[in-house]
Amino acid sequence: MTPALAVRISAHPFFAALTDTQLAALAQDGMAATFTAGERLFDEGGIADRFWLIEQGSIALDMRVPGRGDQIVETLGAGTVLGWSWLNPPYRWHFGAMARLATTAIAFDASSVRRRCDADPAFGYAALRSFTPVIIERLQATRLRLLDLYAAPSQVRQAETQPTDA
């Protein structure tokens, strides 16, 4: 841990629910990370042993779909958190991730953070309170994308009404 890292972590609104003590504890599990454009962070199925707070740059979440190649699901930018699979067993990545641009981030040791959560429930609750809003917002956004709102009427199955042309 370096004091500089703790400062970098506290600069992010993401961990606003943590007290200074909790932030300092978390910082012990953190380390600076950089990625070059095109560098892969992890692949689907790999062990989810860390998560990242993205400070600058852009990361693409993807999945290799047979016949389609690597399909990008979503891109994540500065200020967001990458990686939830460390929260739930079997702690394996469900998607892959690749840096779109040169990216700087803070990486956290997932099993260490998990041990801290188990040992200190207050810390664990604060950590979860940081993650759940992000998860909820991304789920909502994904559901809105599923509605395919920008589609033309002919591209979407309509409700049963008598159409008049317009």
Partner 1 sequence: MTGQGTARSPPAEPAATAPAVPCFYRVISRREDTSDTVTLELTEPARPSHLIPAFAPGQFAMLTAFGVGEVPISVSGLGDNGGGRARRLEHTLRAVGAVTRALHAAQPGSLIGVRGPFGTSWDVTSAAGRDIVIVAGGIGLAPLRSVVLTALADRPSYGRIVLLVGARTPDDLLYAGELERWRRDGVEVAVTVDRADTGWSGAVGLVTALIEPARLAPGNSVAFVCGPDIMMRFTADALAARGIPVHRIRVSLERNMRCGAGWCGHCQLGPLLVCRDGPVVGYDRAAALMRVREL
Partner 2 sequence: MPPNQDSGRQPSDPAVVVDADRLPALFDALHGRGYTVAGPTVRDGAIVVAELASAAELPFGWGVETEAGRYRLRERSDTAAFGHSAGPQSWKSVLHPSRARLWSADRVTGTAEAGETGERPRYALLGVRPCDVRAVGILDQVLTGGRHADPVYRGRRDGAFIIAVECTEPGATCFCTSMGGGPGAESGFDLAMTELADSGGHRFVVRAGTPAGAEVLADVPSRAADDATIRRASTAVNEAADRMGRTMPAQGLPQLLADSRGSPHWDDVASRCLTCGNCTMVCPTCFCTTTEDVTDLTGDHAERWRVWDSCFALDFSYLHGGSVRTSGQSRYRQWISHKLGTWHDQFGSSGCVGCGRCIAWCPVGIDITQEVSALASLQDAAATAAEPDRPAATDGSGP
Q: Pick what 115 binds: partner 1, partner 2, none; C-beta below 5 to 8 Å, kind-dependent.
A: none
Residues 6+ apart with CB under 8 A from 82: 41, 51, 52, 53, 54, 59, 61, 76, 97, 105
Q: Smaller CB distance to partner 1: residue 58 or 104?
A: 58
Q: Single out the residue of 40, 44, 91, 100 in contact with partner 1 (rule: CB under 8 A).
A: 100
Return the SS3 of 92: strand
Cα–Cα separations (whole angstroms), residue 69 to 43, 60, 62, 65, 72: 14, 14, 10, 5, 10
Instruction: Name the residue with tokens 């600058």.
Output: 56
Q: How far is the CB of 154 from partner 1 (least distance, A)?
A: 7
Distance CA 166, CA 163 (A): 9
Asked whether position 135 contacts partner 1 by CB under 8 A, the answer is: no
Q: Single out the residue of 10, 28, 34, 75 in contact with partner 1 (rule: CB under 8 A).
A: 75
Asked whether position 71 contacts partner 1 by CB under 8 A, the answer is: yes
Q: Pick what 38 binds: partner 2, partner 1, none; C-beta below 5 to 8 Å, kind-dependent.
A: none
Q: Single out the residue of 121, 150, 158, 159 in contact with partner 1 (rule: CB under 8 A).
A: 150
